[in-house]
Structure 1
Amino acid sequence: MLNVVGCLVETHDLRLVVLAAATCGLSALTTVCLVDHARRTAAWVQVGWLAVAAFAGGSGIWATHFIAMLAFAPGVPGGYDLGLTALSLVLAIALVGAGVALSVSVGGRAAAWAGGGVVGLGIAAMHYTGMAAYDVAGHKAWDPAAVAASLALSVLLGGAALSARPGGRGLARQLPAALLLLLAICGHHFTAMGAVTVTPDPTMAVSEAAVPNAWLAVAVALASFTILLMAGAALALDLRDRRHAQLEADRLHSLANAAVEGLVVCTGDTVVSANRSFAKLAGRPQAGLPGSSLSAYLPGEATRLLMAGHPERPVEVELRRADGTLIPVEVIMQPVEHAGRPHYAVAVRDLRARRQAESRIAFLAHHDALTGLANRASFGQRLDLEMRAADVGGRKLAVLCLDLDRFKEVNDLFGHAAGDAMLEAVARIVSAELDGTQTMARLGGDEFAVLMPCEHATAAGGLAERILEALRAGRAEGGGPSIATSIGVALYPDDTRERAALLNFADTALYRAKSEGRGTYRFFEARMGAEVHERRSLEHDLRHAVARGEMELVYQPQTEVGTGEVIGFEALLRWRHPERGHVPPSVFIPIAEESDIILRIGEWVLREACREAAGWPRPLSIAVNVSAVQIHSPDLVGLVHEVLLGTGLAPGRLEVEITETALISDPNRALLTLRQLKAVGVRVAMDDFGTGYSSLSNLRSFPFDKIKIDGSFTRAVDTNEQTAAIVRSVLGLGRGLGLPVLAEGVETEAELGFLAAERCHAVQGYLLGRPSPIAAFSRHTHGIVRQDAA
C-alpha cells in the first residue's frame, strides 16, 4: 500500500490523476446506465445497447489508463507501441462486452457477479497490455504481490458493481454501481502502477515507431469525447424512461377504465376519481363523478358502517343508480395512499349475473339440465307429498316408469346428439299428455317417471296407452329415429305403502313389459317381484363371477369324419355358483347380454382359451363363441389382436363362432368387424346354421370360413327323411361354396355313419367327446395318454 501511495504522490501529475478519475467516473456511470437500460429491453435491441455499453465501458477504462499514464513521470524518455496500444483498447471493449452480456442475458445474482468478474479481468488485461505497450529507456520490474492485489481488486469490485441493486430516482439510482466500477478501474490502475519499478538504462533507446505522448493525448481526447457522447446518450435514456413512467401512469389509468369492476377512490364521503365501469353502474357520466358523495350511490348509514367494519372483505349491498333503481353489488374497501395523502379505494362488482347464475343453479338442483323435467331428488319429494295427500283424501296414486326401447342402439348408430334429441322429444310429447295434477321426471339416462293421482287403476292404464300412442306418432326433431318405449305401473297403496318399494315395483312391471315384447305397458303383480328379484340376484352375482374365479372353460373336441382325428376344440363356458351350483348357460348368458356383462365375460373367455391353446404342442384350432353384443362393440378387433399378441397364439388357429341372429340388428357394422377379424388372420364360422334368418343371403354377404349345422338338424338324421334332406342340402351348399361343414350334436353311431356317407367334413357331439376340462384331452393336445384312461 505504501508503494501505491508513493507511486501516486511521487511519480504522477495529480492534476492529470484527477482528470483520469473524472473520466473514469463519467465512463462508469455511463456504462452502468446503459447496462441497466439494456436489462429493460429485449431481443436485438438489447444486443445493440449491450454493444454500446461495451464500447463506452472499454473506451472509458482505456482512456482512464492512458490519461493516468500521461500523468506518470518516471524521469526517463518513453513512448507507446501502436499495435499493443490498439490491442489494449480492443481487449477492454471485448471483455467488458462479454461481462455485461453474461450479466444481462443470463440474469440472476450469480450471473451478475460472474459478468462483473469478467469486466474486472478486462480492466486487468487492458492495463497490462497497455503497460506492455509502454516503451521506456530502462528496465521494468514487477512486484508479484501487488500484481495479484490489483487483479483481486478489479475482479471483486467489478462483480460487486454489476450485482449492485439500483436505488433512488433518475441517475442517482445508478450511483452505487457506478462508484464500485470507478473503484475497480482506479483501484486496479494505481495498485498495478505501484507494482512496477522503472530503472533507467542509458544504453537502451526508445523505438522510433513508438507513439509519443502528444499523439497519445489526441487519442485520449477522442476517447474522452466518445465517453461524453455516451454520457449524453445515457442522460437521454433516463429522460425517456421518465416519460415512459408517465405514460405507464396514464396506462394504469386506462387499465382502471378497462376494468370490469367499478373502482372509486374517496376521501371521507367525497369521490376523488372513478373509472368508467363505476360510471356505467351508477348511470352517470364519468366526468361528473369526482366531487360527488359516495353515499349518493351507496345509500344508508348501515351500508357505510358495514363497509368500515369489514375492510378488505367483500360486503353485499345495493347500489342506487341515477334513475333511482337499486341493483345488487359486492363492495370491498381498502385504505390506499393517493397523491401523498391517505384515501380509501372501493371496488364495486355487479352481482346481477351471479344472482342469475345462482337461480339457474337452484333450478338445476331440482331439474334435469337436458329436458327441464324434475330430477330424481325433486320427484322423490313430490312423491312423498302426493302419498300423504292420497292418505288424507282416500285416493290412489299411480307411478308410471318409462324406459326407451333400444336407446343404446340409437346412440351407437346415430350419435349422442340424436339420443339427446330423442330424450327431449320424449319429455315434450309425454308432458303434452299430462294435466296440472300429474308430474313427469327424468330419473336418469333414458328412464322417466310419471306421478298420477287417480281414483281407479283404469285411469293409469288409460294414461299409459295415450303416452304409448303419442310416442309412436312422434319423432325426435330433425326426422331422427322412431321413438319406442315400455311402461311399468305400480299403485299406491294397493301394491305397497313405501316409497322405495313403489318405485321398485313400477320398475319390475317395466321389466316385464320389455320381456313380453316391448312397446307396451304392464301393471305390477306380486309374482313379478320374485321373478325380478331372482334375475337381479343372478345379475349381481354374475358381475363378480369372473373376479371370484367362478367361471371355468370346458372343451369339446371337433373331429374330422374321414380320419377320426381331433382337429380342434370348442371352448364352452360354465358357471359354478358357490350357492346355486352349476348355472346353465341358457340362464346366465341372456342376462349377461342384456346387461352388457357379456363384454367382460367374453374378454375373459377369449384370453383364457387362447392362453390354453397357445400351450399345446399340437397346433389344433380353438373355437370361441362371440355374442351379438361383442360383434357390435368397436373394441372387439383390437381386443382379439392384443390377446393374440399377448398369448403368442397364431391367428389362423383361432376360430370365432357367430350366430346368424348376431348379424341382424346392424349388418353393416357386423360386416366391418368380420372383415377386420379376417384381416388379422382369424377364421370366422357361422354357428347354428339354419336356425336364424336369411341364411343364404348371409353366406353370400359375410366372409365365413366354415358352416356349423345346428344339433337340432343332426338328431335322428338317420331316421327322419325331412331332417336328412335338410342336412344333405347344407352339405351340398358347403361344397358348392368351398366351405367346410361341421355338424354339431352327434350322439349315435348311426348319425355319424350318415354324415360320413354324405361326406361331412367334421363332427362334434357327445359320441366323440363330452365337454370336459382340457386335461381330459391331453393325448390330443400333447400326445400324452392319461394314466386313468390307460
Structure 2
Amino acid sequence: MLTVVGCLVESHDFRLVTLAAGICALSSLTTVCLVSHARRALAGAQAGWLAVAGTAGGFGIWATHFIAMLAFAPGIASGYDVPLTGLSLAIAVLLVGSGLSLAVLQGGRPAAWGGGAILGFGIAAMHYSGMAAYDVAGHKAWDAAIVAVSLALGGLLGGAALAVQVDARGPVGQAAAALILLLAICSHHFTAMGAVTVTPDPTLAVSETAVPNAWLAVAVALASLAILLFAGAALALDVRDRRHARQEADRLHSLANAAVEGLLVCTGDTVVSANRSFAKLVGLPQGSLAGTVLSAYLPGEAGRFALASQPDRPVETAVRQADGTLVPVEVIMQPVEHAGRPHYAVAVRDLRARRRAESRIQFLAHHDALTGLANRASFGTRLEEGMRAVDAGGGKLAVLCLDLDRFKEVNDLFGHAAGDAMLESVASIVTAELDGAMMMARLGGDEFAVLMPCGHSSAAGRLAERILEALRAGRPDGNGPPVAASVGIAVYPDDADDRAGLLSNADTALYRAKSDGRGTYRFFEARMGAEVRERRLLEHDLRHAVARRELELVYQPQTEIGSGEVIGFEALLRWRHPERGHVSPAVFVPIAEESDLILQIGEWVLREACREAASWPRPLSVAVNVSAVQIHGPRFVGLVHEVLLQSGLAPHRLEVEVTETALISDPNRALLTLRQLRALGLRIAMDDFGTGYSSLSNLRSFPFDKIKIDSSFVRSVDSNEQTAAIMRSVLGLGRGLGLPVLAEGVETAAELGFLAAERCHAAQGYLMGRPSPIGHFSTHTHGSSAGAEKIRA
C-alpha cells in the first residue's frame, strides 16, 4: 500500500514541485491584479474583466494541480481520463469566476469572505474531480478527516485572500493577497493529496483511453502558457493603471493646490490629504498634514456637529492655526469616493477678508469715507435720540451747521487733493474741540454739523467761537490755503419742535452768517426764515435766467473829457425777472458769487459783449467787469482766448475791470492770471479805486492799464474840499505812474468841469449817458446821426 505522504521525498520530482509552486504564485498574483483592475473598471466593463480574472485563476489552480501530479511518480502505471480532466478545468474556471464576481460586484468584507469561500470550494472541486480523472493500476482510498481539513483550508484561505484584496493598497497589499491565495491553493492540494491512499493491484490495468503523462504535460504546458499570457496582460494593465492613477493624482493634486480655498480629504477624523492653501491657512508644512486629525484644526464641537448634520451646506466656524490663533472660516463638507473607498472632502474658505469688507461696509454705512465722521444718516439718528432725551430729561440740544467759505476756490486753485486735505483737517480740528457728549458729522461736500447737548444756548455760542478760532489757526498741511468757515446755530426746543425744522433753521442761521461777512456765527432768529427763503428763491430763479433769456446787457458810454468823444462802453448786466420785474445787480450779483453761478453768468456776459463789440464799425473798446471767482478760476484765461477767437474782436478793444477785493484772497494766482491776460493783448483796469485795502501796493504789483475812481470820490467834488483833495491826489498818482484815470459817477456839469480842470483823462456817468441798450448809441458805434437826440435826452 502506497501513500503520497510517505513517498513525497522518494517519489516526487522536486523540480516539478517548484515549477508548480511558481506557476501557482504567478497565477495568484495575476488573479489579484485582474481583480483590482475589475474593481476600478466601469460597471459595463467589470463583467469582462471578471471573466478574464476567473479564467486566469481557474487555469492557474488547474495547472498547479496537474504539474504537482506530474511530479508524483508512484512507480506503477497511471494515466488521466480526458473528459474528467476537462471537467476539472471547467469547474475551476466556473467556481473561481463566481467567487470573484460575488466579491467585486457586491463589494465589502462580507462579500469578499463569501466569494473567497466559493473560490476555496472551487479549488477543492477541481482537485477532487482531477483526482477522479487519475487512472492508476490499483485502488484509491480517502481519509475523510483529512479531506475535511483540505476543504476548510481552501475555504478559509480563499476568503482571507479576497478580504485582504479589498483593502490592498499598492504592490505590497496586492502581493499579500496573492500570497494568501497561493497558500490556499498549495495547502489544499498537498493536504488533499495526503488524504488519498493508492494500493497497487496487478490485476488492474490502466484504461486504453487514458491520456499518458506525456500528453498531460503538453496540456499543462498550454495552460501554463495561457497563465503567462494572462500574467503579461495583467502586468501591462497594472502598469498602465498605476501610471494613469499617478498622473490623475498629480493632476488632482495640482488642481487642489491651485485652489484659493483650503481643501482636505478625510476619512473619519483623519486627514488623508490637504492642499497648499489649507497648509498656509493653518501655518503648517503641507507634507505634515496627512495623518493628522481634523479636530485639531476645527476645535469647535458645534461646528463639527453642524458639518456632519448638514452636508453640502456651508457652516461658519473657526480654524485653529499652528500658534493657537483662531481664524474665522466657512466650511462645507461633501461625501466623495477616494481610492475606491468612501471619504469626505472639506472645503475651507478664509473669512478674514470678507469680515474686513463687511466691517468696512458697516462703517461706511454710518460714516463718511474721507473724514471718518458720522454721515447724514447717523447724524439724523443721533439727533432723534438727543431730542427724545431732551423731552424726557429737560435741557437743550444745539445743532451747529458749519460750512467752509469759498471751498470751491480751493478745489479750483489747489486741486481736489488739497480740498480733501482741508476737509480732513477741519474734521480733525473741530473734533478736538468736542467732548464725549457731542457729535460731529459730515453732511456732504463742505457741509458739517455738530450736535451739542447743553443747558443754555450760550454754551453753543462759546463752542462756535472756539471752533472758528481753532480753524483760523489751522492749515491742512501747514502751508496750504487758510481755513475759513461760517456757523449757524439752532436750539431744540427753542427754535423748532422737529428734526427737519431744527436743521432747516440752523441752515438759515448759516446763510445769515455768510451774508454778514463770513468767518462768523449766528443764532437762528425767527425773522431770518423769510429772508433766507427769499434769497433761496432768487438763487433758484437765477440758475435758469441764462437759459430763459432773462438776462440782458446795457451799455454806458465812456467819454474822453478833453474832446467829448466816446472812446468806449462799459457792459452792465441786468436781470428782467418775469414776475419780479427788474432785479437790482446789487441783489443778484452777490447771490451769483456765493453760489458760483457767477462763472456761468460771467461767461455769458463776456461772450455777448465781445460779440456785440465785434459788430461795431468803429473800433471802440468794451469793458467787462470780472469777479474774484472768475479771476481765480483755472479756465478763465483759456475762456477769454476762446471768446476772442470766436467773436473776432481785436484783443486791445477788450478791457477787463477788476476790483481790489478780487486780488487779496490769493494775490499770486491773481497776478498770474492778469499777466496771462495782458499777454493776450487785453487791457486791465482797476475798478472802484480807493475802496479797497491796499490800493497803492496793488498799483505797484499788478499790471494795470487804467485806474477807475469810484463814484463816491466824484460826488460833490466841486463843493467838498476833502473830496477834491483826494481826487487831485489820485489824478497826480495816475500821471506819475503813467496810467490814465477814468472817473465814474459823473452826474453834473460842475463835476465834469472840475475833472477837466484837473486834467482827468475820461469820465463815465449819467451826464454822458445812462446805461441803455446798445442801439441807443448807434451814432457812436456806427458813425450815423440816428439816435443822437436820445442820448442827449
TM over 0.5: yes
Structure 1, 420-429 or 278-287: larger mean CA deviation: 420-429
Partner of 2:645: 645
Shift of 1:481: 6.0
Aligned residues: 543
Shift of 1:775: 1.7
Partner of 2:625: 625
Partner of 2:762: 762
Distance 1:605 1:457, change over 3 A: same
SS at match of 1:747: coil
Aligned residue identity for 1:303: L
SS at match of 1:570: strand
Partner of 2:776: 776
Deviations 1:111-153 (A, max 9, x none): xxxxxxxxxxxxxxxxxxxxxxxxxxxxxxxxxxxxxxxxxxx
SS at match of 2:513: helix
Partner of 2:731: 731
CA distance in 2, matches of 1:267, 1:416: 60
For structure 1, the residue ranges without an aligned partner over 5 or more in a row are: 1-242
Partner of 2:722: 722
Shift of 1:303: 2.0
Shift of 1:726: 3.1
Conservation of the 8 A alpha-carbon contact between 1:303 and 1:317? no
Distance 1:746 1:485, change over 3 A: closer
CA distance in 2, matches of 1:636, 1:447: 27
CA distance in 2, matches of 1:565, 1:707: 19
Deviations 1:462-506 (A, max 9, x none): 433444455556665647666554432211111110111101212
CA distance in 2, matches of 1:647, 1:341: 88
Aligned residue identity for 2:690: G
Partner of 1:635: 635
Determine whether 1:289 maps to 2:289: yes
Shift of 1:614: 1.6
Conservation of the 8 A alpha-carbon contact between 1:307 and 1:315? no
Determine whether 1:667 maps to 2:667: yes
Shift of 1:351: 0.5
Deviations 1:599-629 (A, max 9, x none): 1110110011111112222222111110111
Partner of 2:220: none
Counterparts of residues 7-406 of structure 1 (less than 5 Å): 253=253, 256-257=256-257, 259-265=259-265, 271-290=271-290, 299-304=303-308, 306-308=310-312, 316-319=316-319, 327-331=327-331, 347-406=347-406
Distance 1:476 1:559, change over 3 A: closer
Deviations 1:193-230 (A, max 9, x none): xxxxxxxxxxxxxxxxxxxxxxxxxxxxxxxxxxxxxx
Distance 1:433 1:621, change over 3 A: closer
Structure 1, 397-406 or 289-298: larger mean CA deviation: 289-298
Counterparts of residues 534-545 of structure 1 (less than 5 Å): 534-545=534-545
CA distance in 2, matches of 1:572, 1:751: 23
Distance 1:698 1:480, change over 3 A: closer
Partner of 2:752: 752
CA distance in 1, matches of 2:332, 2:604: 62
Conservation of the 8 A alpha-carbon contact between 1:264 and 1:272? yes
Aligned residue identity for 2:709: I
Aligned residue identity for 2:373: L
Conservation of the 8 A alpha-carbon contact between 2:628 and 2:662? yes
Deviations 1:544-598 (A, max 9, x none): 2112211111111222333333222111000111121111111111111122111
Conservation of the 8 A alpha-carbon contact between 2:486 and 2:519? yes
Determine whether 1:741 maps to 2:741: yes
Shift of 1:383: 0.6
Deviations 1:27-67 (A, max 9, x none): xxxxxxxxxxxxxxxxxxxxxxxxxxxxxxxxxxxxxxxxx
CA distance in 2, matches of 1:483, 1:711: 34
Distance 1:466 1:721, change over 3 A: closer
Distance 1:261 1:353, change over 3 A: same
SS at match of 1:526: coil
Conservation of the 8 A alpha-carbon contact between 2:334 and 2:344? yes
Conservation of the 8 A alpha-carbon contact between 2:409 and 2:629? no
For the aligned residue pairs, the C-alpha RMSD in angstroms reads 3.5
Conservation of the 8 A alpha-carbon contact between 2:412 and 2:633? no
Aligned residue identity for 1:289: L
Aligned residue identity for 1:568: G
Aligned residue identity for 1:651: P
Distance 1:263 1:399, change over 3 A: same
CA distance in 2, matches of 1:756, 1:465: 53
Distance 1:432 1:535, change over 3 A: same
Determine whether 1:676 maps to 2:676: yes
Shift of 1:265: 4.9
CA distance in 2, matches of 1:247, 1:733: 98
Kindly name which structure, 1 or 2, has the bigger radius of gyration based on alpha carbons: 2
Counterparts of residues 423-434 of structure 1 (less than 5 Å): 423-434=423-434
Distance 1:341 1:555, change over 3 A: farther
Conservation of the 8 A alpha-carbon contact between 2:571 and 2:622? yes
Conservation of the 8 A alpha-carbon contact between 2:715 and 2:746? yes
Partner of 1:495: 495
Distance 1:625 1:410, change over 3 A: closer
CA distance in 1, matches of 2:690, 2:779: 34
SS at match of 2:726: helix
- Could you state the TM-score of these two structures normalised by the residue count of structure 1? 0.62
Distance 1:338 1:680, change over 3 A: farther
Aligned residue identity for 2:357: A
Conservation of the 8 A alpha-carbon contact between 1:616 and 1:781? yes
SS at match of 1:277: helix
Conservation of the 8 A alpha-carbon contact between 1:707 and 1:739? yes
Conservation of the 8 A alpha-carbon contact between 1:269 and 1:294? yes
Structure 1, 283-292 or 347-356: larger mean CA deviation: 283-292
Shift of 1:738: 2.8
SS at match of 1:564: coil
SS at match of 1:642: helix
SS at match of 2:527: helix
CA distance in 1, matches of 2:735, 2:472: 47
CA distance in 2, matches of 1:474, 1:743: 42
Partner of 2:145: none
Distance 1:259 1:451, change over 3 A: same
Distance 1:719 1:430, change over 3 A: closer
Shift of 1:284: 4.6
Distance 1:497 1:737, change over 3 A: same
- Could you state the TM-score of these two structures normalised by the residue count of structure 2? 0.62
Distance 1:268 1:463, change over 3 A: same
Structure 1, 254-263 or 367-376: larger mean CA deviation: 254-263
CA distance in 2, matches of 1:248, 1:764: 97
Distance 1:750 1:512, change over 3 A: same
Distance 1:255 1:651, change over 3 A: farther
Distance 1:571 1:373, change over 3 A: same
Partner of 1:512: 512
For structure 2, the residue ranges without an aligned partner over 5 or more in a row are: 1-242
SS at match of 1:441: strand
Partner of 1:564: 564
Shift of 1:389: 1.6
CA distance in 2, matches of 1:497, 1:563: 69
Shift of 1:426: 3.9
Shift of 1:315: 6.1
CA distance in 2, matches of 1:322, 1:732: 90
